[in-house]
Chain A
Amino acid sequence: MKFDTRTLVLMAIAIVINIVVGQLAVWVKLPLYVDAVGTVLVAILAGPLAGAVTGVLTNVIWGLVSDPTAMAFFPVSLVIGLVAGILAGIGWFRTIGKTLVSAVIIGIISTIVAVPIIVYMFGGVTGAGTDFATAYFVAVGQELINSVAVANLATNLVDKILTCVIAWIIASRMPNRFTASFPFYQKAAA
């Protein structure tokens, strides 16, 4: 599939937004990533394939410029873009209620993909704040994989709800003149 020029530019901008948003999360001192806003926005406007490519390239480019461990998590970003695009295609980003349900679905599926990477590649730790929650669940007797899953699911749900709501607000407030050239969005919104 060949993307048109506007979609290509949208994807490039979304990749940069994903990377720069990490800086905003540091400024507001929130233990969240919110680094898939660009991916979800592309998925809503241009479909699952564009969303998946944006997600994968975000991790590859982030890995190339500053954090090589980011590359290990490219399947997570791929799935976020793919699932968000599929949900957008069947109209699950039309209202705030549907967007929240979509966010929960994306949060659960991205956790399912992330947990094996965290457990088998990094021994169940991420080097981030979720390790405290993982340690707590292990201390109360849970299996490591269950502890990682629960700790990451909790963080991921909050993270993806914020991500999807922000992407939905941006997409739904864009003027028709802007969204008219994205046939996927027009079809999904109809």
Chain B
Amino acid sequence: MIGQGNPHTGKTLLFVPGNSFIHRINPLTKLVGLLWLAATTFMLPPMGMAVVFIAAFAFGVIAGAGAVFVRRLVLTVTPFAIALFVIHGLLIKRPDMIDYGLISLSPGGLTYMAHILVRVAALLTASMLFVTTTHPAILLKSLDSHGISPGIAYLISSPLLLIEPFSARARAIRDAQQARGLDLNGSWKARIKAFPALLIPLVTLALSDLDQRASVLDGRAFRARPFRVVLDAPVDQPYERWLRRLLLLALPVQIGLLLWL
């Protein structure tokens, strides 16, 4: 249950290349900003969340990622909106139900639906702003330049590099199994049987590479030093460092206030 939604988009990265001021902000500052914004969104009234959504969307357009934002918003928010409308607007019995003949609608339910939708949209656009303006490789360089251990850096960077070759390998396995008679359009029983026929070769092939990959890493002594030195670390302005400290300090204070008040 990774995402509960559409499990794969077909495109590996959502990153949109560019040179806007949002692209140039240090990735760690953007990451801390996203964390702060996500926590703050839960404290805000719907109007405040709408402001977050509009601001994040506007910054996304300025960064040249408007089309990606619109596509992702439509893909994610539409099924949510339909399900929320049916469940909260039509099905959950509330005292304010208004009868329109064939259907009964609850204004309170629709208000709640709008509340959830604007929160999802605010969280989605805020995280999209980070994802579309931050290349994972730059994020990794930023983490490296702040003394992250090589093991953690490997765990983050290696999957990012392996997703594309593994997807290609999965497609090759699918084609080969279909050539041997695997039915992907049969009954649900046939499709359940087809699943291990696709998955097990993919996993066993991946595991057969494991020793070789581990030997290469050990051969390079990649954990000989506690951290890696980055020659072209992303620019980290002094004001950004202060901003990060401020936001990190604000997080527990805000959460404490939320629980106390």
Contacts and interface: CB of A to CB of B under 8 A. Distances in A.
Interface string A168-190: 01100010001000000000000
Given A114-B1, A123-B112, A17 B79 contact: no
Main secondary structure of the interface of B (DSSP, over half): helix
B43 to A, nearest CB: 14
B68 to A, nearest CB: 11
Contact of A28 (B159, B163, B198): B198
Nearest to B165: A16
Chain A interface mostly: helix
Interface string B1-37: 1111111110111100000000000000000000000
Interface stretch (B98-106, B204-212, B240-248, B251-259): B204-212
Interface residues of B, number: 74
Contact of B195 (A15, A25, A70, A131): A25
Given A23-B170, A62-B3, A73-B4, A123 B9 contact: no
B91 interface: yes
Contact of B13 (A65, A110, A169): A65
Interface of A: 2-3, 5-6, 8-13, 15-30, 33-38, 41, 53, 57-59, 61-73, 76-77, 110, 114, 118, 121-128, 130-131, 134-135, 138-139, 144, 156, 159, 162, 166, 169-170, 174, 178
A-B pairs, 9 with minimum CB distance? A22-B7, A68-B127, A123-B116, A70-B3, A127-B79, A125-B83, A126-B4, A12-B158, A131-B83
Nearest to B77: A127
Contacts of A72: 123
A113 to B, nearest CB: 9
Given A64-B136, A65-B136, A17 B202 contact: yes
Contacts of B174: 24, 27
B250 interface: no
Given A17-B166, A61-B160, A69 B5 contact: yes
